[in-house]
């Protein structure tokens, strides 16, 4: 496979194939919000939510996204205050795992369990997810499983710690598109088995 990502046009095509009329799309790890805006342009009747943990990214890019509701929050396995580490990537601030050797600056960030975050804000359960959170995707999906919330239709995720480990967290879902970047990092789109 080529060392590219699953593009947003390809993901939109997969959504149309598996979820013709999505009602709620959630991007966790929105960075600059471009993917959320693209998905809103493709599915104008859907509610699109973008969640970005780093305040710099949120303030700079996500405050005025057309048609997208954005939140400055960190999603993980627990409701707790955590310290994350920042690194600039292509002019954007990226977030890395707690205690990361890649980080250059520390930030305290409030972390929320996704189920609690959505319930507290009255957000509907998404039928489409896009998740790119530098390794925290495992704890987010594991927490959704624990809360019996593996009821979305399709997900695009970047798995940073091994594809097989990620797939094992999603029984009842199957990969329909995969791009492996290395033994540890892959992009994968999964759909719920019907």
pLDDT digits (tens, 9 = 90+) for 31-81: 999 999 999 999 999 999 999 988 888 888 898 899 999 999 989 888 988
Q: Return the pLDDT at 56.
A: 81
Which contiguous run of DSSP H or E holds residue 87?
strand 80-89
pTM of the model: 0.88
Cα torsion angle, 58, 64, 66, 72, sign? positive
CA distance 158 to 112: 20
Count of other CB atoms within 10 angstroms of residue 38: 17
Residue 34 Cα distances to 68, 71, 91, 172, angstroms: 10, 15, 14, 30
Label residue 95 by pLDDT band (50, 70, 90): very low
Q: Is 178 helix (H, G, I), strand (E, B) or coil?
A: strand
Render pLDDT for 104-125 as a digit per residue (tens, 0 to 9).
667 777 889 999 999 999 999 9
């Amino acid at each position: 496979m080529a060392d590219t990502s699953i593009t947003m046009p390809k993901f939109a095509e997969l959504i149309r194939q598996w979820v013709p009329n999505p009602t709620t799309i959630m991007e966790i790890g929105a960075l600059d919000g471009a993917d959320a805006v693209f998905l809103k342009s493709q599915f104008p009747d859907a509610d699109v939510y973008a969640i970005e943990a780093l305040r710099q990214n949120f303030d700079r890019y996500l405050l005025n996204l057309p048609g997208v509701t954005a939140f400055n929050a960190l999603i993980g396995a627990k409701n707790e205050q955590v310290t994350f580490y920042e690194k600039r990537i292509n002019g954007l601030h990226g977030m890395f795992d707690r205690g990361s050797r890649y980080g250059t600056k520390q930030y305290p960030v409030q972390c929320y369990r996704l189920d609690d975050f959505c319930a507290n804000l009255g957000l509907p359960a998404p039928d489409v997810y896009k998740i790119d959170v530098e390794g925290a995707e495992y704890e987010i999906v594991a927490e959704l499983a624990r809360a019996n919330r593996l009821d979305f239709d399709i997900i695009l995720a970047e798995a940073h710690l091994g594809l097989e480990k990620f797939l094992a967290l999603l029984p009842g879902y199957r990969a329909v598109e995969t791009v492996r970047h290395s033994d540890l990092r892959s992009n994968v789109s999964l759909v719920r088995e019907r």
